[in-house]
Amino acid sequence: MNANDPRRKDMAELARLLPAPAERDLPAGRHHVLKEHLICELRLAASPVAGRPATRRRRKPAIVLAAGGAAALAAVIIVLALQPAKTPGASPAAVRLLAKIATAAARPPAPQVRNSQFWYIKSWGAGMGCNAATGTCVLDKPHESQIWQSVSNLCVTGLLRAHGQNIPLAYDGNRQHCPDRGGVNDPTYRFLQSLPTDPHALLSLIERQMSGQQPPPEEAFITIGDLLRGAIAPPRVSAALYRAAALIPGVTVVADATDAIGRHGVAVAMTVEGVRYEWIFSEQTLRYLGERDIYVARPRDLNITIGSIASEAAVLQRAFVDHAGQIPG
C-alpha cells in the first residue's frame, strides 16, 4: 500500500478519530433492572425509576487499555472495517422454529379496526428491583396490568390499570405533531399496519429507527420482543417480525421456558450483556405466551445470582375495544 493510497489515508483518519475509553451510560445489567414489568406501560413510562426509559440509551462497554493498547485497537478496528461484512443470522434450530411460528401467526384474518378504537392488552408479570446502596436485587411481586391505547393516534389519552390504580396515559407535550401514529419504539396499530412485510426490509427499518442505541442485532431483537409483548400487530406484520428475527445473528432456541404464570413452552432467545432474553411460545399452537429475562452472567455492580430472573411476563388477553376502560366480552 503506497503513501497515496486512499485506504492508507482512511486508516490514518480512523486511528486519529478513535475515541478514548468511554464511561458506561448504564452498567451491564442495569438496563434490565430499570425494565420493570408493568408490561405494556414499559414502553410508555417517562421515568426510568418507575419503569423503562422512554428512549433506551446505548450502553458503552468499559474498555481499559494498557500502553500502546489504543494503537492496537485501532489496527483491529481498521482490519475489521476493511473486511467483507458477515451476517450469518439465527441458529438453524431458531430459523426453523421461527418459520413455523410465522406461518401460524399469518393464518388469522386481519381484524377490521376503526380509528376511534383502542387496543386492550391484559398482562401479568414482575421485574427486579435493586437497592443502589447495597447492590441487593429482588424480583418484585407479580401483578396484573391492563392497558388501553388508541389504535391510530398517540395524542389521544389512553389508560393504564395496575396496582389498583387507574393511570391516564396522556401524551400532550411529548408529541411534535398530532395526530401521531408513533414509531417502532412506541407504535400504534395504524403504524404497525404500515410496516413492510418483507423481513429484510422490516429488519432494516427497525435497525435504522433504533440506530445509536444497542448494536443493531441486539437492539433489533429487543425491539421486536417489545412489539410482540406490548402491541397488537396485523397478522402479516407479526409473521414478518418473526421472519426478521430469524435474520438476526445470535438468536437461539431454549427447549423449555416458563412465563410469569407458569405456562411452559419453547423459547426463542438471545443473550445481551449477560442477560438472556426469551420469547416463549406454546409448543402446541405456537402462540406467543410471554417472555422471561434471565441473568446468565453476574454483573459486576449488583449482587445477583446467575440464573436469577430479571423480569418475566405473560400476555393473557388482547382485543380491540371502543373506549378506554372497556373490558372485552
Q: How far apart are CA 151 and CA 187, in angstroms?
A: 9
Grid coordinates of 81: 472495517
Residues 240-259 have pLDDT tens digits of: 999 999 999 999 999 999 99
The pLDDT value recorded for residue 289 is 98
SS3 326: coil
The pLDDT value recorded for residue 238 is 98
Residues 78-88 have pLDDT tens digits of: 222 333 334 46
Q: How far apart are CA 146 and CA 317, in angstroms?
A: 9
Residues 115-128 have pLDDT tens digits of: 999 999 999 999 99
Residues 23-73 have pLDDT tens digits of: 333 333 333 333 333 333 333 333 222 333 233 333 222 222 233 333 333
For the entire predicted model, the pTM comes to 0.74
The pLDDT value recorded for residue 62 is 24
Q: Taking 90 as the threshold, does the pLDDT of residue 131 lie above it?
A: no
With CA atoms as reference, report the closest residue to 54 among 40, 66, 44: 44
Q: Taking 80 as the threshold, does the pLDDT of residue 8 lie above it?
A: no
| Mean pLDDT over each residue of the chain, to the nearest integer | 78
Least confident span in 33-47, 154-168, 175-189: 33-47
Residue with the bigger pLDDT between 110 and 69: it is 110
The pLDDT value recorded for residue 171 is 72
Task: Note the Cα 310 to chain centre separation in Å.
Answer: 14
